[in-house]
Amino acid sequence: MGSKEKVLVVVPTTAGRLSLLKEVLDSVYLNQDKFDITTVIVKNGTFPNDEYYDFDLGYDVIKTESHPGGNIPVAFNKSLEYLTDEFDWWLYQEDDLVITTENWMEHAISTYKSLPKCGAVGIRLHGGMRQYNPQEQYTIESLNVRDKNTFEVYWSDGIMLISKELFDKENLRFDEDIVTAATADMPFQLIERGYENWRVELKFIHHHITGDRTGTPKWRWADTYINMEDTNRRLYLKYQNTKQSKMREWVEMDGAPAGNWLKERGLTDKDYRTFKSDDWD
């Protein structure tokens, strides 16, 4: 019998709900009979360090931190310090989402392997993809469909699975100026490079907290400026002139509200890296 494939599981977290994080890890480590799993927990916020480091998550995980708190791509890039040559896969796991499907990691990885141009695999749909997919009305013509549960998307999250080989081949890094939407921007980067992003069917329980900016419950532990509308507008500014046809579709569909806001104010020439809505409201 060959050796198990090695998976680096990455969980950025505010650390504000450590008991829930332990449940999340339970669903991850149910897969350890088939995969060699190493988990990196990246505290990304101002939650007290002593509570974070002292809390027993039940598994031998790596605990570290990234700063500033609230900048998700910074946390992802911190995780890449641990993505050494021994690993086969990089897998983002949301810190508030418990996957209940049996052997879910095997399903995600086997699906990825079966898709020759696969960039990233996820499970949660967003934007227009919630409506335009094989389980609902119809699928956008440019996007491929394997079956009603497995289909191409612009992006999805819940998890985000990317091969180590692809990280190396494309020298992938997360854009730290797309502060709250790294799970959208990385798939977009992959589309720009000619890859496809796919969604697979996994059952899960999502313990979501609402909030769109610094000071709201979702961003309670952030110590940097957070405005999720800013991120939408930065994504539009970054990709508005894309030549890639699938990205053009996303810009015209899900990017439209941000684009209209920017056009109404004559702001489409602004640098996405430094754009702040508060400067123009």
* Residues in a beta bridge with 206: 97
Q: pLDDT confidence of 124, banded at 50, 70, 90?
A: very high
**What domains are defined for the chain?**
5-206 (3.90.550.10), 227-279 (no CATH)
Per-chain mean pLDDT for the chain: 96
Cβ partners under 8 Å of residue 110, min gap 6 = none
Q: If residue 81 lies in a helix (H) or strand (E), which one and from where to where? A: none
Q: Which amino acid is at 203?
A: K
Cβ partners under 8 Å of residue 167, min gap 6 = 80, 83, 90
Nearest partner of 117 among 35, 182, 187, judged by Cα: 187
User: Which stretches within 5-71 are classed as H helix?
Assistant: 18-29, 49-54
The per-residue pLDDT for 1 is 53
Distance between CA atoms of residues 124 and 133, nearest Å: 12
The per-residue pLDDT for 138 is 82
* Residues in a beta bridge with 199: 122, 151
Structure confidence by residue, pLDDT tens digits, 66-113: 999 999 999 999 999 999 999 999 999 999 999 999 999 999 999 999
The per-residue pLDDT for 2 is 72
The model scores a pTM over 0.85: yes
Structure confidence by residue, pLDDT tens digits, 12-34: 999 999 999 999 999 999 999 99
pLDDT at 36 over 60: yes
Structure confidence by residue, pLDDT tens digits, 141-181: 999 999 999 999 999 999 999 999 999 999 999 999 999 99
Distance between CA atoms of residues 67 and 78, nearest Å: 9
Chain-centre distance for alpha carbon 264:
30
Q: Do you find a cis peptide bond into 68, omega within 30 degrees of 0? A: yes
Distance between CA atoms of residues 74 and 45, nearest Å: 11
Tokens for 59, please give them. Answer: 């598994």
DSSP 227: B
Q: Which amino acid is at 45?
A: G
Nearest partner of 120 among 163, 64, 88, judged by Cα: 163
Question: Cβ distance 43 to 124 under 8 Å?
Answer: no
